[in-house]
Amino acid sequence: MTLPLILGSGSKYRREILDKLHLKYEVVKPDIDESAITSESPQQLVGRLAEAKARAVEKLMAHKQAVIIGSDQVAVCDGQILGKPGNAENAVKQLLGFVGKTVTFYTGLAVLNTATEECEVRVEPFNVEFRHLSENEIERYVELEEPFDCAGSFKSEGLGISLFNSLKGNDPNTLIGLPAIALLDMLRTHKINPLNKE
């Protein structure tokens, strides 16, 4: 019997990816402290937070057996970890800092089987090379897409694509917050496969 699938995230972007993959799932939003630990690398941070989100959901479910997905993402530029901007002013400032540079996004992905307590964690990198942009272009982009809840202040699946020279990584879904290729590989271990007939 296949265990139910739970997405441990309030992100509409992650839900959209799971919907496109034809997966049946429930959403349980975890509430955890997402602060970085001193001397923690970006990879360690997103891996730890992805697992912490999955385990927080497990506690909320009161011993119900399920497969839980946890995910977390940060952007890194010039050695600085950057999160979601929250407002237009911060988004413009963040994007101005990316002009002509390569920004690396790290997405942590955890899949926890509460029946076996197995938890696999992967961290997927993705590099984005920003083109030389004017401040007016950046302000117009922020005005049009309002990317305030996105790490890095852009939506690569929308007009954000106009900000880049190139994208390099295994899976463009990684930029949206959920590496689908890795996720499907991890879920097949738990007999969850949208290509299998029920």
Candidate from 80-89, 116-125, 184-193 with smallest mean pLDDT: 80-89
Marked catalytic residue, from 72, 78, 149, 185: 72
In a domain, 69, yes or no: yes
194 within a domain of the structure (yes/no): no
In a domain, 197, yes or no: no
Asked about 31 being catalytic, the answer comes back as: no
Tokens of 89: 């002013």
Query: Per the domain annotation, does 91 fall within a domain?
Result: yes
Closest Cα partner for 149 from 38, 11, 49, 3?
A: 11
Q: What is the pLDDT of residues 134-191, one digit of tens each?
A: 999 999 999 999 999 888 899 888 899 999 999 999 999 998 889 999 999 999 999 9
Q: Supply the mean pLDDT for the chain.
A: 92
- Residue 1, pLDDT above cutoff 70: no
For residue 165, is it within any domain? yes
Q: Is residue 111 part of a domain?
A: yes
Rounded to whole angstroms, the Cα distance separating 161 from 155 reads: 8
CATH number of the domain bearing residue 70: 3.90.950.10
Domain range spanning residue 61?
5-188
What does DSSP assign to residue 38?
Answer: T
Token match 């997402």: residue?
34
pLDDT in tens, 29-75: 998 888 878 889 999 999 999 999 999 999 998 778 999 999 999 88
**pLDDT of 121-140, one tens digit each?**
999 999 999 999 999 999 99
The domain tally of the chain equals 1
Q: Are strands 80-82 and 26-27 parallel, antiparallel or unpaired?
A: unpaired
The DSSP-derived string for 159-190 is: GGGGGEEEEEES-THHHHT--HHHHHHHHHTT
